[in-house]
Amino acid sequence: MKLQINSITDYHTSYRESIEDPAAFWASQARAFQWTKEWDAVLESDFTGGYNRWYMGGHLNITINCLDRHLEESSDKTAIVWEPNDPMQETRKLSYRELHSSVCQFANGLRANGIGKGDRVCFYMPMLPELVIGILACARIGAIHSVVFAGFSAASLADRIKDASCKMLICADYNIRGPKQIPVKSLVDEALSLGCECIEKVIVYRNTGGGIPWVNGRDYWWYDIIEGQAEECTPEIMDSEDPLFILYTSGSTGKPKGVVHTCGGYMVYTGYTFNNVFQFQPGEIHWCTADIGWITGHSYVIYGPLLNGATTLLFEGIPTYPDPSRFWKICEKHKVNIFYTAPTAIRALMAAGDEHTIGHDLSAIRVLGTVGEPINEEAWHWYNEKVGRGIAPVIDTWWQTETGGIMITPLPGITDTKPCFASYPLPGVQPILVDVNGNEIEGNNAEGLLCIKFPWPSIIRTTYGDHERCRQSYFSAFPGLYFTGDEARRDEDGRYRIIGRVDDVINVSGHRIGTAEIENAIDEHDNVVESAVVGYAHPIKGQGIYAYVILLHPVSDETALFKEINEKLVQYIGPIAKADEVMIVSGLPKTRSGKIMRRLLRKAAEKDYENLGDISTLLNPEIVEEIVEKSKLKP
Ligand code: WTA
């Protein structure tokens, strides 16, 4: 793939062109890919109704672009390097030819098992090459993949399966993470017992070979599915706007919503961003540490790298197993050139001590990326100096599940970097800051709500099964704008710094969780009458979860209660949603209209007792003193 911006002049020219004539700009980007029929029109957008379409009438299959297209020149090139959890176990490598054959074989197996275009297939799998194979096999035959992070609970899995009425579920027998083995198949059975009648078949990949429950006639082994299947598979030719996948993410209210991305626009945008943002050079090894269960894994473990013919590294384990030098050992072993991770991992490894980075040859690293949450200055410098040796630029990339790909980021070696700043928008991206009334805040040195005023190819198309929710969530706050839910600052030179969410979404270790989801799970506890949850500054996780609960009956053992509350959170959401602090209160500060004043709760959680603001308008101002006093007693 060519069309790489490689100088600051290029950046400015591209940016200008992308604004002056977006259709021409995006048409030329799209021509870097193989289409079986060219589009009739580049874009059609209506931000009022939340409708956005790209490359209308164009036909393609993304797997032709990820796989077939590379076979002629680089079939022996490594597509996937898989690094197992156990460092003593052998690395697996799949060339583009092998990946192509495996995808085709599994795709044929899916077709033979009744899966076709438009069917939803759910994945609940650890970081194995088979997850990539399965996902691409769906894309090959036009089935819509819906990957659920394997750390979510059975209840969360069931909700997602039902919401998308998935026909098939693909999982592993066990998931290995650090010293733990997680019985994935048992969790699947538990989820399916929660009313997932839509699932006809379950395909199980044998990862550990441990014993698992089995339902005859419903469960099939992965190897039985591919048995006897051809290694060529005619791709389903898709319309640009046919859905490629659904990925659930949390919002301010209700249950997680299924963000829908479509074939054409998502392909163009992830291919374009991978190529430019990482300044990818042929032959490089790219390692994005995100789990495929999140958007970062979709776009920058799988699609972006493969669209560009890169080698993508897949790691099964965790950063601290067997010890906190694991990431650096892997970088050294595979001569990783592009390393992309989350601030929470950087902070955890920084806290583990510099001795873990010392002595590892990290000289192959050319670019360091971060994503998912604001990176603090200390972590930025540590990353830059200890991992990047002061040479590899740190690119702080801002984007969202809904944007499909990176939106605001420095370009390594081209634009400057500044700690904590995601910096400049990519060509094609038009961010603006607005005040609460939606008035644009012009000029530099400004702070406001971050919106995007023009569509880009991988903008969210809809929330699965409920378009009104999509319109409401992203396009209704400020008419004519896409609202990100984030607050940002623009410095004197026009660089953006992302401050954080302004809605009721908490970003815990880079994972988005809605306070409503957490509260609903806590309220399942028999002794909880009402709860309110806020995020607060946490040294490693970025944000921690602070829960305020009103009890039905007083308890003598608070520790036991906290444990039970966390059990509910693990049961209904997953271990990532465990509360860091719980405070028992006799009431919650409410406005006269009954709204919980979360701002106050956030301040108490952070022990910031100055400027509590005007509390006289509260329904129950006396509660504030109780909360403040109790907060002072917390560690
Ligand atoms: C936050 C992850 C600061 C932000 C790709 C956004 C960031 C949410 C950054 C999306 C960054 C993402 N600096 N904050 N570089 N990148 N965020 O959907 O609040 O899991 O709205 O997508 O993460 O999270 P999501």
With cut-offs at 50, 70 and 90, classify the pLDDT of residue 429: very high
The number of the ligand 1 atom at minimal distance from the alpha carbon of 401 is: 18
With cut-offs at 50, 70 and 90, classify the pLDDT of residue 623: very high
Q: Is the pLDDT of residue 416 over 60?
A: yes
- pLDDT value at residue 80: 98
Instruction: Give the C-alpha separation, 73 to 96, whole Å.
Output: 10
Q: Is the pLDDT of residue 515 over 60?
A: yes
Distance 254 CA to ligand 1 centre (A): 20
For the residues 621-635, what does the mean pLDDT come to?
92
Specify burial of residue 523 (Cβ count, 10 A radius: 0-12, 13-18, 19+).
Answer: middle
Q: Which residue has the higher pLDDT, 359 or 235?
A: 235
Q: Using one digit for the tens of pLDDT, what is the confidence trace for 186-229?
A: 999 999 999 999 999 999 999 999 999 999 999 999 999 999 99
Going by alpha carbons, the residue nearest to atom 11 of ligand 1 is 398
With cut-offs at 50, 70 and 90, classify the pLDDT of residue 3: confident
Q: Using one digit for the tens of pLDDT, what is the confidence trace for 259-295?
A: 999 999 999 999 999 999 999 999 999 999 999 999 9
The number of the ligand 1 atom at minimal distance from the alpha carbon of 422 is: 15
- pLDDT value at residue 251: 87
The number of the ligand 1 atom at minimal distance from the alpha carbon of 396 is: 15
Q: What is the dihedral of CA 151, 501, 462, 121, to 10 degrees?
A: -10
Q: Which residue has the higher pLDDT, 362 or 591?
A: 362
Distance 111 CA to ligand 1 centre (A): 36
The number of the ligand 1 atom at minimal distance from the alpha carbon of 408 is: 15
Going by alpha carbons, the residue nearest to atom 8 of ligand 1 is 400
- The count of C-alpha atoms lying within 13 angstroms of the C-alpha of 565, restricted to the half-sphere facing its C-beta, is 33
- pLDDT value at residue 2: 55
With cut-offs at 50, 70 and 90, classify the pLDDT of residue 593: confident
With cut-offs at 50, 70 and 90, classify the pLDDT of residue 253: confident
- pLDDT value at residue 461: 98
Q: Using one digit for the tens of pLDDT, what is the confidence trace for 372-394?
A: 999 999 999 999 999 999 999 99
418-422, 423-427, 631-635: least confidently modelled range: 631-635
What's the one-letter identity of residue 190? E
Distance 343 CA to ligand 1 centre (A): 11
- Mean pLDDT for the chain? 96
Per DSSP, 567 falls in state H
Instruction: Give the C-alpha separation, 581 to 564, whole Å.
Output: 13
Per DSSP, 407 falls in state -
CA neighbor of 515 nearest in space, from 486, 477, 544? 544
CA neighbor of 427 nearest in space, from 19, 30, 15, 7? 15
Distance 420 CA to ligand 1 centre (A): 13
Q: Which residue has the higher pLDDT, 594 or 91?
A: 91
Distance 146 CA to ligand 1 centre (A): 20
Ligand 1 pocket test, candidate residues 507, 509, 511, most atoms within 8 A of CB: 507
Q: How many CB atoms lie within 10 A of CB 27?
A: 17
What percent of the chain is modeled with pLDDT above 90? 95
Q: Which residues line ligand 1 (CB under 6 A)?
A: 249, 294-296, 371-374, 396-401, 422, 484-486, 498, 500-501, 507, 512
Distance 398 CA to ligand 1 centre (A): 6
231-245, 529-543, 591-605: least confidently modelled range: 591-605
CA neighbor of 432 nearest in space, from 486, 387, 388, 501? 486
Q: Using one digit for the tens of pLDDT, what is the confidence trace for 455-469?
A: 999 999 999 999 999
- pLDDT value at residue 387: 96
The number of the ligand 1 atom at minimal distance from the alpha carbon of 374 is: 3
For the residues 138-167, what does the mean pLDDT come to?
98
Three-state secondary structure string covering 556-597: CCHHHHHHHHHHHHHHHCCHHHCCCEEEEECCCCEECCCCEC
Would you say 161 and 196 are in contact if contact means Cβ atoms under 8 Å apart?
yes
Ligand 1 pocket test, candidate residues 486, 499, 576, most atoms within 8 A of CB: 486
Distance 375 CA to ligand 1 centre (A): 11
Specify burial of residue 255 (Cβ count, 10 A radius: 0-12, 13-18, 19+).
Answer: middle
Distance 202 CA to ligand 1 centre (A): 33
Specify burial of residue 322 (Cβ count, 10 A radius: 0-12, 13-18, 19+).
Answer: middle
Going by alpha carbons, the residue nearest to atom 12 of ligand 1 is 372
Q: Which long-range contacts (CB under 8 A, 24 or more apart) does 511-516 make?
A: 511/294, 511/372, 511/576, 512/249, 512/250, 512/401, 513/250, 513/545, 513/573, 513/576, 513/577, 514/250, 514/251, 514/252, 514/253, 514/254, 514/256, 515/252, 515/598, 516/252, 516/253, 516/254
Instruction: Give the C-alpha separation, 546 to 428, whole Å.
Output: 39
Distance 502 CA to ligand 1 centre (A): 12
Going by alpha carbons, the residue nearest to atom 24 of ligand 1 is 400
What percent of the chain is modeled with pLDDT above 70? 100
Instruction: Give the C-alpha separation, 77 to 308, whole Å.
Output: 12
The number of the ligand 1 atom at minimal distance from the alpha carbon of 397 is: 15
Going by alpha carbons, the residue nearest to atom 15 of ligand 1 is 398
Read off the tokens for 482: 């896409």
Q: Is the pLDDT of residue 1 over 60?
A: no
Supply angle C-alpha 167, 169, 175, rounded to 5.
170
Going by alpha carbons, the residue nearest to atom 7 of ligand 1 is 373
For the residues 420-428, what does the mean pLDDT come to?
97
